[in-house]
Amino acid sequence: MEENIYDQLHVDLINSLQQLKQINAPDNFEHNVLLKLNSSSINKGINFKYGYSWSKLIPILAAAIIMVVAIIFLLNEQVKSDNPSLTNSKPIDHSSVNSTSKNKIDETVKTQTSSDNNISAPSSDQNNISNKETKAGLNNKKAELSKAIKKEMDSVSKK
Amino acid sequence: MLEKKLNELTDEELINEFQQNNVSKAFEIIIQRYKNPLMNYVYRFLGDYEACVDIVQETFIKVYRYKNSYSSIAKFSTWIYTIAGNLARTEYQRKKRRNFFSIESTWDENEPYEIPDESFRPDVTTDSDLKEEIIQKALLKISASYREAVILRDIQGMSYEEISEIMKINVGTVKSRINRGRAQLQKLLKNIYKE
């Protein structure tokens, strides 16, 4: 008797399960699947539209960046070599000292003074030793120049 | 014209079209055919509509991405149900871990089950919607492995062999899980069927 009740319950249960309402997908389901597919493909590095992957592009981009950096570095070096270094001061033209004109001498002195100012500006890539050497050389040249100016002044005053 | 022709193809022929010729319309027809059955299967297993939508969408994404891993020896429905089942089981385990210390997770699926729920009273279960809700709640209270077998057999109407392939267990185990699952449900729902 009890078995029959349970058999009936069993049948009722199976019927109830079979008659459960169908759960439907939302209206925009397909659209969302396609959207997810596109977004996941971008994340995965697959570009359906253009047929190449970001993973392949990354080394190319890296190489391009390295090349650009290298070109900038080389250009910088080129600029440095084109402009005379501040440590290599121009040799003093002694012939200008021999000029008889006082104005000329003044101009030479002015030019030299301005170049002296430039020389005194410390360059970042100069070491201390070269700075000292340069300064000593300049002092000598200054002394020579002042001597020459004195001589010239004397000769002018004698005249 | 092409769509009409594709609609007449079997699932296996459609996936073959998609594999060989990359016909995206074939994939769309597969979605149309399987979205509701898979929604039903996953929803009955998880009881969470939002999660169910995500899982079924993820199933189709996997079908798209791994289309070439399907071999024509197997039935397509078995393959797609296996994918959805794996995803649903993963989500179920994740939820279980997350709710481990929550108040909702006080029941243990291995312990005897007793539902002292007022809504199970026969006098309350007149509405069919309410009855459905009670059945769904009862389904969620039985062991996950029994539940899956019962859903596939009694709700999705699959054969023992198909269930055996989807769940990766032998047919004997499938049968015993179905019987145990039904027995658990019967106990839980006895008040509904007593009348």
Residues A100 and A151 reside in one and the same domain: yes
Could you tell me which of B24, B31, B86 has the C-alpha nearest to residue B55?
Answer: B86
Which range of A114-128, B34-48, B93-107 scores highest in mean pLDDT? It is: B34-48
Q: Measure the CA–CA gap between B7 and B177, rounded to whole angstroms.
A: 36
Residue B170, sorted as left (phi over 0), alpha (psi -120 to 50) or beta, turns out to be beta
pLDDT at position B168, please?
93
Cα–Cα separations (whole angstroms), residue B45 to A100, B103, B152, B166: 111, 21, 10, 14
Residue A19 included in any domain = no
- CA B150 distance to own-chain centroid: 9
Please answer whether residues B61 and A40 qualify as being in contact, where contact means their C-beta atoms are separated by less than 8 angstroms: yes
Domain tally for chain B? 1
Model pLDDT for residues B112-150, shown as the tens digit of each residue = 444 445 444 555 545 678 888 899 999 999 999 999 999
Residue whose pair of structure tokens reads 């020579």 in the numeric block: A144
Chain B partners within 8 Å of A17 (Cβ): 135, 150, 154-155, 185
Cα–Cα separations (whole angstroms), residue A24 to A28, A53, B47, B57, B147: 11, 36, 13, 13, 20
Banded model confidence at residue B161, pLDDT cuts 50, 70, 90: very high
- Higher pLDDT among residues B147 and B103, named by residue: B147
How many residues are present in chain B?
195
pLDDT at position B114, please?
47
Helices (H), chain A: 2-18, 29-44, 54-82, 102-120, 128-158
Examine the pLDDT at B90 and tell me if it is beyond 50. yes
Residue whose pair of structure tokens reads 């430039």 in the numeric block: A118
The domain that contains B188 carries what CATH number? 1.10.10.10
The CA-based dihedral angle spanning residues A42, A48, A52, A57, taken in that order and rounded to the nearest 10 degrees: -20
Q: Which residues contact B61 (CB under 8 A, 6 or more apart)?
A: A33, A36, A37, A40
The CB-side HSE value for A101 (13 A sphere, CA atoms) comes to 6
Q: Does B49 touch chain A (CB under 8 A)?
A: yes
DSSP one-letter code for A24: P
Examine the pLDDT at B29 and tell me if it is beyond 50. yes
Banded model confidence at residue B87, pLDDT cuts 50, 70, 90: very high
Residues A76 and A115 reside in one and the same domain: no
Query: Which residue among A16, A51, A83 closes a domain?
Result: A83
Q: Per-residue pLDDT for chain A (159 aa), expressed as one digit of tens each?
A: 555 666 777 788 888 888 888 889 999 898 889 888 887 665 554 444 444 456 667 888 899 999 999 999 999 888 888 776 544 555 555 555 455 555 655 665 565 555 555 554 455 555 566 666 677 888 888 888 888 888 888 887 776
The domain in which residue B162 lies consists of 117-195
Q: Measure the CA–CA gap between B182 and A18, rounded to whole angstroms.
A: 13
Residues A102 and A147 reside in one and the same domain: yes
ipTM score: 0.73
Could you tell me which of B184, B162, B149, B137 has the C-alpha nearest to residue B41?
Answer: B149
Residue A98 included in any domain = yes
Residue B181 included in any domain = yes
Q: Which residues contact B56 (CB under 8 A, 6 or more apart)?
A: A25, A29, B35, B38, B39, B42, B84
Q: What percent of chain B lies above the pLDDT cut of 90?
A: 56
Q: Does B155 touch chain A (CB under 8 A)?
A: yes
Residue A89 included in any domain = no
Nearest CA in chain B to A25: B36
Q: Does B182 touch chain A (CB under 8 A)?
A: yes
The CB-side HSE value for B184 (13 A sphere, CA atoms) comes to 24
The domain in which residue A119 lies consists of 94-158
Residue B85 included in any domain = no
Residues A108 and A143 reside in one and the same domain: yes
- For B155, the closest of A12, A17, A37 (CB atoms) is A17
Domain tally for chain A? 2
Instruction: Give me the DSSP letters along A99-119.
Output: -S-HHHHHHHHHHHHHHHHHH
Residue B58 included in any domain = no
Taking residues B178-194, report their average pLDDT. 86
